Chains A and B, each alone.
Chain A
Amino acid sequence: MEKVFKGDFPILKNSKFSYLDSGATSQHPTCVLNDVISYYKKNNANPHRGSYSLSVKATKLYENAREGVKNFINAKSSAEIIFTKNATESLNLIAYSYGLNNLKKGDEIVLSIMEHHSMIVPFQMVAKKTGATLKYIYLNDDFCLDEQEIEKKITKNTKIVGISTVSNVLGTKNDVKKIVKKAHSVGAVVVCDASQSIAHMPLDVQNLDVDFAVFSGHKMFAPLGIGVLFGKQSLLLKMPPFLFGGDMIEYVDEQNTTFAPLPQKFEAGTQNVGGAVGLLSAINYINEIGYKEIQKYENNLTDYAYKNLTKLKFLEVYATKNKENRSSVLSFNIKGIHAHDVSSILDLENVFVRSGNHCAQPLLKHMKVSSTIRASFSIYNTKQDVDNLVFALNEAYKKFKKYIKD
């Protein structure tokens, strides 16, 4: 019998609803909640500042979390791990500190069309301010990045390539390693957005050889407000600070400041120690189960969902047919009915999904759809949740079918 993880999550344990929006944010296991409460109950103080024992304790917990992240993603050094508030802040740090200072007119930034606004909008800003050109890698007919597009778009002018491990709309897994090889062959750096895969698939920054990687804690069972930026030390050393203030300094005179070494150089102000503690706890939770087990469980569940959703003739499913390339996100529409109307019906049936453009308007425009319904799964979901989704979709279809125009 397969293990059921739902019981680890208090919000879901005896719930009547099916939570199918983990792509937006995940729920939290008891161990993470307890560790965060325990931090605030017993160990809270301002890190890196006080000379008293409680502050030393808080600092130690914060730095332990950094070490934990380093091991979790197989970085070479904990100096390469910068804590931020989320993936968006991490991407802004790269855009402001690396992008603005290294790009010029004639240079090119290449992003995949399936990127989240958090990747697209900061690099649009870089392109506008530096005069660089922004180009996109488009999809093939099977909702995957077109290989010829990758070859064609990454050229000798390319300076930055932005790619997500998994699309937050399509669930498509991208061959990051291959894109990195191509990017490095022309001397470009690669920014990898692992937000959508971090709760589901291992991230090995040395194996992928990415130059930067980002993710949010809240999508991997950690609290809101803690995120990670990984950067190769050689790059981070050359980059100027992004945010300025306390804790990121060495000496401050009236007119000039020298900055702290890595990673403090990029961490201005009092940091989110409680969030870092929760992130380490979430890492431990994932490690205890093991990505192998997580993937086995989720692949089984996503396949079950894919099979049952594609059986519904009134649905249009936007996912690759190749199950090897599918992660635990599925997007679809009832043909002829707007996603929001369907998701409101699902809501009344206690099935919680996301609908809309999923912060990926360029992708949806490219696909020529205005919105989709998205069901995203995590280890705490069960086949019952999928059955509830299918039931609710049938209810919605029954309600709307007489109004659907051919």
Chain B
Amino acid sequence: MEIDDIYSELVMEHSQNSPYKKDIKNPTCSVHGHNPNCGDDITLSFVIENGIIKDVSFTGQGCAISQSSTSIMIETLIGKTIKEAQKIIDIFIDLIDRKQVSKEDKKLLKNAQIFKNISNMPARVKCALLAWKTTKNILNEQN
């Protein structure tokens, strides 16, 4: 595996200059995610109205993988209904777990497909999944 498969321009840009790394006013819910072994630590804030994810932002610190995965997840989920978002998250988790994912489903992930090679770096899988698993939990609570 080449280094560039993981640390691509897209990943590095999102990790260093994410447009979603900010505070948003009046979030409807916030959630904290943490990988105790490596210190990745993020807080996600959501504005969810009538079952639609209107806006999301994050703060916190972590490695390039966890920061960019968080940013790209937000980019993918904004504008989606909770149901659509839950489906996308499940597809992403399946992709990282190397489960069979159809072409159509992959398309729904858009830029997030870039993390498919992270399974070649097993030590970093939890960094890529942190935001997604954290969001999955909070969306389940919204139903």
Contact = CB atoms under 8 A, between A and B. Distances in A.
B62 A399 contact: no
Given A340-B65, A370-B61, A356 B38 contact: yes
A344 interface: yes
Interface stretch (B42-50, B95-103, B119-127): B119-127
Nearest to A355: B38
Interface in B33-61: 37-39, 41, 61
B63 A345 contact: no
A403 to B, nearest CB: 5
A371 B38 contact: yes
A341 B39 contact: no
B6 interface: yes
B1 A348 contact: yes
A41 interface: no
Contacts of B65: 340-341, 344
B12 A370 contact: no
Contact of A338 (B13, B37, B64, B123): B64
Interface string A385-406: 0000000000000011001010
A307 B61 CA distance: 31
B1 A399 contact: no
A341 B64 contact: yes
A345 B3 contact: yes
A405 B37 CA distance: 26
Contacts of A370: 39, 41, 61
B7 interface: yes
Nearest to B124: A344
B61 to A, nearest CB: 5
Contact of A340 (B1, B3, B13, B127): B127
Interface in B97-143: 121, 123-124, 127
Contacts of A174: none
A357 B39 contact: yes
A375 to B, nearest CB: 17
A347 B64 contact: no
A339 B62 CA distance: 9
B123 A347 contact: yes
B75 to A, nearest CB: 18
A320 B13 CA distance: 35
6 contacts: A338-B62, A341-B63, A341-B65, A344-B6, A357-B39, A370-B61
Given A399-B3, A403-B16, 6 more contacts: A338-B64, A340-B127, A347-B121, A357-B38, A403-B13, A403-B15
